[in-house]
Amino acid sequence: GAGVSQSPRYKVAKRGQDVALRCDPISGHVSLFWYQQALGQGPEFLTYFQNEAQLDKSGLPSDRFFAERPEGSVSTLKIQRTQQEDSAVYLCASSLPGTGSNGEQYFGPGTRLTVT
Amino acid sequence: DQQVKQNSPSLSVQEGRISILNCDYTNSMFDYFLWYKKYPAEGPTFLISISSIKDKNEDGRFTVFLNKSAKHLSLHIVPSQPGDSAVYFCAAIPGHFGNEKLTFGTGTRLTIIP
């Protein structure tokens, strides 16, 4: 079966531009997470959806970051007025919570964002 | 404040020998621990996990040990193979129902020398 896919894989944006990053989770997975991974660091949590509900957005670094999952499947992470410090790999993960789950999250390949 | 720490940024091990990767955590609320493996240009992939009610979990060549009193866990790979060369991340969550955000360490780059 298909895994988590993300697009684009690479994005170069000029400072001040808006970008939109897409995530297609594994079909049927209820939970969807976004993480940001800076160079040489581990992934850091940004936000979490259960179906279409955004239950936790405590990791979003500023109000320039916005995420949505309107129909409970595909999700988009939008960054407005990009800054150089936004340069990172943005990872999406999905999981199937509940009894029988081992907590495993399945990650996509990420989108590498470079802000120039 | 780094709640999950991997103090060795890199490790080189001879093929066939044992690789030991270490991880420390500070948050007592963490209840479930996972190891992820990451190749370049790919997302992390799940390797093995352990619940706080256990002190050891084994899956083939991979064994994870948890010392809850020391807030320390380790991943043992034996025998090490060239395909094990990757970055390994330790991660923790306060539950284990798949709806908890992962807190990651900074990773250890493992290189297996043929």
Tell me the pLDDT tens digit for each residue of B49-83.
Answer: 999 999 999 999 999 999 999 999 999 999 999 99
Through-space distance between the first and last CA atoms of chain A, rounded to whole angstroms: 37
User: Would the CB atoms of B101 and A42 count as touching at under 8 Å?
Assistant: no
Distance (Å) from the C-alpha of residue B101 to the closest C-alpha of chain A? 7
- Chain B residues 51-90 with a CB less than 8 Å from chain A: 89
Query: What residue type is B83 in one-letter code?
Result: G
Tell me the pLDDT tens digit for each residue of B17-40.
Answer: 999 999 999 999 898 999 999 999
Burial of B12 (0-12, 13-18, 19+ CB in 10 A): exposed
* A85: helix, strand or coil: helix
Distance (Å) from the C-alpha of residue B51 to the closest C-alpha of chain A? 9
Cβ neighbors of A114 (< 8 A, separation 6 or more) are A10, A11, A12, A13, A87
- Residue B98 pLDDT > 80: no
Instruction: Tell me how far apart the alpha carbons of residues B104 and B113 are, in angstroms, rounded to a whole number.
Output: 26
Tell me the pLDDT tens digit for each residue of A62-93.
Answer: 999 999 999 999 999 999 999 999 999 999 99
Extended beta strands in chain A, E state: 5-7, 10-13, 19-24, 31-37, 44-50, 53-56, 65-68, 75-79, 88-95, 106-107, 111-115
Averaged pLDDT, groups of 10, chain A, 116 residues long: 91 98 95 95 95 94 97 97 97 77 82 98
By residue count, chain B amounts to: 114
Which among A42, A48, A107 is the nearest to B101, CB-wise?
A48
Cα torsion A81, A86, A89, A93 to 10°: value is -70
Q: Are A33 and A12 in contact (CB under 8 A)?
A: no
DSSP for B15-52, written as a single string: TTS-EEEEEEE--TT--EEEEEEE-TTS--EEEEEEET
Q: Give the pLDDT confidence score for residue A64 in this predicted structure.
A: 98
When comparing pLDDT for A90 and B93, which is higher? A90
Q: Give the pLDDT confidence score for residue A99 in this predicted structure.
A: 46
